[in-house]
Amino acid sequence: MAKKLTKDVDGDGRPEQYGFYLDPQPWPLYWVIRSYGGELFDPATKKATLLDPRTVKALQFVADLIQKWVVQPVVAPGEFYQVFANQQVAMIHGLNDDAFGWDEAIGDKFAWGIAPSPKGPVKRAQFVGGSALAIPKGAKYSDIAYELTLRNFYKDSPKEWCCIIRGGIDLCFFSK
């Protein structure tokens, strides 16, 4: 899909609009690695697994977005809101709490929406941070959310919490 959304309008060989942007920071790279079946370290041996073939394949995919397929721009740190708001990228990966930044940057320029992060070759993997544990004021099922949060932070359940939270909300934003 990113290839179809990448457009070289003036024919100079450089896209005016790229199909996708994934911030090359550790947290977005981790969900890609996990979607390829890789990990950053082996909890049993406590050793890094960056050379595991699945992890290498995932990182090569990220590099290929820019270098091989030319569907992702190189963006200066902190400018990813602007490239999406200026429609220089059609889809951009972000977390649920990025929505406020997108809304502010885009305003009424164009319609935009959200979709789940793409499924990798092995599975759909997500990043979930602390914002996934917030309970919005006026939430319809705040009592259930509160009980779930308490249960997950109980001293004996960190492993169980990690397993539950892995299905959290990671989003791809796209312009319509």
Kindly report the pTM of this predicted structure.
0.73
Which domain, by its residues, includes 57? 2-131+167-175
The pLDDT value given to residue 21 = 93
* Burial profile 145-167: b = 16 or more Cβ within 10 angstroms, e = fewer: eeeeeeeeeeeeeeeebeeeeee
Who's near 110: CB < 8 A, 6+ residues apart? 87, 175, 176
Contact, 96 vs 169, CB < 8 A? Answer: yes
| Coil, helix or strand at residue 72 | coil
In a domain, 77, yes or no: yes
Domain CATH number, residue 115: 3.40.190.10
Tally of domains within the chain = 1
In a domain, 153, yes or no: no
Order of strands, edge to edge, in the sheet holding 170-175?
18-21, 89-95, 170-175, 112-116
In a domain, 146, yes or no: no
The pLDDT value given to residue 167 = 39
The DSSP letter of residue 101 is H
Q: Which two tokens stand for residue 161?
A: 């919490």
The pLDDT value given to residue 76 = 87
Using alpha carbons, list the distances in angstroms from residue 84 to 18, 49, 115, 149, 174: 10, 33, 15, 33, 8
Burial (CB count <10 Å: 0-12, 13-18, 19+), residue 92: buried
In a domain, 56, yes or no: yes
In a domain, 20, yes or no: yes
In a domain, 75, yes or no: yes
The pLDDT tens digits along the chain (176 residues) read 999 999 999 999 999 999 999 988 777 888 899 999 999 888 889 899 999 999 999 999 999 999 999 999 999 877 888 899 999 999 998 876 677 788 888 989 998 888 888 899 999 887 766 655 677 788 888 888 887 777 666 555 444 444 443 334 444 445 55
In a domain, 138, yes or no: no
Count Cβ atoms below 10 Å from residue 83 Cβ, excluding itself.
Answer: 18
The pLDDT value given to residue 170 = 41
Report d(CA 71, CA 19) in Å as an integer: 5
In a domain, 11, yes or no: yes
The CA angle 22-28-33, to the nearest 5 degrees, is: 110
The pLDDT value given to residue 128 = 63
DSSP-H helix ranges across 18-96: 26-35, 53-67, 80-85
